[in-house]
Amino acid sequence: MNGVARIGVPMKQLACVVMVLIMVLGLGVASAPAASPAKPKSSFEYEDRIGVVKIKPGGPIHIACWFAVAGSEATLGIDSKRGVEIAIEDRGGKLLGFPIKLTVEDTGCNPEGGQAAATKIASDPTIVAAIGSTCSSEARPGAPILWRAGIVTVSPSNTAPELTSPKRGPEYAGYLRTAHNDKVQGAVAAEFARKKLAVKRTATIHDGSPYSEQLQAVFVATFKRLGGIITSQEAVAPTDTDMRPVLTKIATGRPEFIYYPVFIAVGGHITRQVKEVAGLERVYLMGADGMFSPDFYKAAGEAAIGMFHSSPDFSAFAGGYRSFLEKHQKKYGGKPLSVFHAHAYDATMIIFAAIEKVAKKAPDGTLYIGRQALRDALYATKGFKGLTGTLTCDAYGDCADPRIAVYQTTADNVKKLVMPDKPFWKPY
């Protein structure tokens, strides 16, 4: 050999190796192709744990009501619906520059109607929030249906204690109310009977609904605590018309007072028939807000003269209530039909305030509203100045500033079909 070392690598392979080294080391002959630039992220993001309602420019903010607007208890729901309508008008029919759309579903003041109305509302993904229901019996099945769809609801007239009880269950986590809790109303009624009228012996009647049964239960517990005697606790069905058998049974206990927090139809039958039963001719009679309506006077007639009702204290409402009544008179040609119109107004207004807190508008004008965010904003309501008082929501959805008074029916009330507006007695 000549003393020259030979490497056993073909020239073509050597050239390839050199080129790879040049590329890796970036020595300049050939450079690796540049990576594609990352796409810029959108400048607008809105996330919510359970869902987002998107409203295009010009589209409506859709609110639903589920109220009893037909049948024997229609005045309760119509009264609340009017409160919602006036609230919308007071906002100029718009929120955040978007028109407000209102849908109303009838509930019938019974569980079946509440379930049907809630199911229909839950099937519409455009609905942002709901106001309702009218009766507690509707809310029991209906509120969980709405919350499974991510729709929060605020009731102006449900008062059954179970709906905001710590034991109510997570399926009611999207439920609130501006109505009082009947833990308050039942206690006030009992204090009135025991302290103001000084009666010692009382009987009660309920219709099996959550509202009626739980309200009389609070009354009974408070009356006993105050040293009174409960002579009888009776139940009737919402469809019953002949109350004489129950009233005859009650008469054997010789009560001085009968508390029957039922609805209009049943309340009318009891009131008309009670004085026909021997031993009950001089007994005091008292109902509650479920039949505090001119329609009750139509059902009961002159037999209602002199009886009492527990109900919200209208004289304790905020200054804006007088203006509300003027608007109501102008718009509907008369006074409110029942007792929860102002509570419905307040329910609507706290929903609007919560939407304004959580809604965000994208650069293209689309409005985004988070369902969980809206629910949380409603529960965070504190010190809200409403018609019914200052509203602050607790951890279980009770938002009311509860003021309950007792009213007495006069002959003029029955003749003119107008509920008394000045309290006969109040505990404060």
Identify whether residues 353 and 367 lie together within a single domain: yes
Residue range 164-214, pLDDT digits in tens:
999 999 999 999 999 999 999 999 999 999 999 999 999 999 999 999 999
Q: Is the pLDDT of residue 39 over 80?
A: no
Determine the longest span between alpha carbons in the chain, in angstroms: 143
Question: What are 412's two structure tokens?
Answer: 């003029």
Number of other CB atoms surrounding residue 90 within 10 Å? 16
Q: What is the tens place of the pLDDT at every residue in 224-246? A: 999 999 999 999 999 999 999 99
Same domain? For 349 and 273 the reply is: no
Dihedrals phi, psi of 399, to nearest 5 degrees: -115, -10
Residues 284 and 410 in one domain: yes
Res. 8: pLDDT tops 70: no
pLDDT in tens, 41-51: 557 899 999 99
Mean pLDDT of the chain: 91
Identify the H or E element spanning 4: none
Residue type at position 18: V
* Sheet with 152-155: strands ordered across: 94-95, 98-106, 61-67, 127-132, 152-155, 175-177
Phi then psi for residue 138, to 5 deg, are -80, -35
Q: Is residue 245 situated within a structural domain?
A: yes
**193 conformational bin, left if phi > 0, alpha if psi -120 to 50, beta if neither:** alpha
Q: How many domains does the chain have?
A: 2
Same domain (yes/no): 193, 298 = yes
325 vs 329: CA distance, rounded Å = 6
Do 360 and 250 have their domain in common?
Answer: no
The answer, yes or no, to whether residue 20 has pLDDT greater than 80, is no
Same domain, 264 and 284: yes
| 334-351 pLDDT per residue, tens | 999 999 999 999 999 999
The answer to whether residues 347 and 308 belong to one domain is no
Among the listed ranges 22-31, 101-110, 419-428, which one has the minimum average pLDDT value?
22-31
Distance CA 426, CA 428 (A): 6
- The yes-or-no verdict on residue 289 having pLDDT over 90 is yes
Alpha helix (H) residue ranges in 226-365: 244-251, 264-274, 294-300, 320-332, 341-358
- Whether 106 is covered by a domain: the verdict is yes
Radius of gyration of the chain (CA): 32
Residues 61 and 189 grouped into a single domain = no
DSSP state of 10: -
Range in 25-34, 85-94, 235-244 the model is least confident about: 25-34
Query: What pLDDT was estimated at residue 421?
Result: 86
Q: Note whether 194 and 165 are same-domain residues.
A: no
Whether 148 and 257 share a structural domain: no
CATH number at residue 248: 3.40.50.2300
* 119 and 187, same domain (yes or no): no
275 found inside a domain: yes
Taking residue 396's Cβ as centre, other Cβ atoms within 10 Å add up to 18
Instruction: Answer whether residue 322 is part of any domain.
Output: no
Residue 212, domain member (yes or no): yes
Give the domain extent around 116: 52-179+340-397
**Is there a domain that residue 39 lies in?**
no
The answer for residues whose C-beta is within 8 angstroms of residue 304's C-beta and 6 or more apart is 271, 296, 297, 409, 413, 414
Pair 192, 245: CB distance under 8 Å: no
Q: Is the pLDDT of residue 53 over 90?
A: yes
Q: Is residue 18 part of a domain?
A: no
Is the pLDDT at 3 greater than 50, yes or no? no
Q: Is residue 213 part of a domain?
A: yes
Q: Do residues 284 and 386 share a domain?
A: no
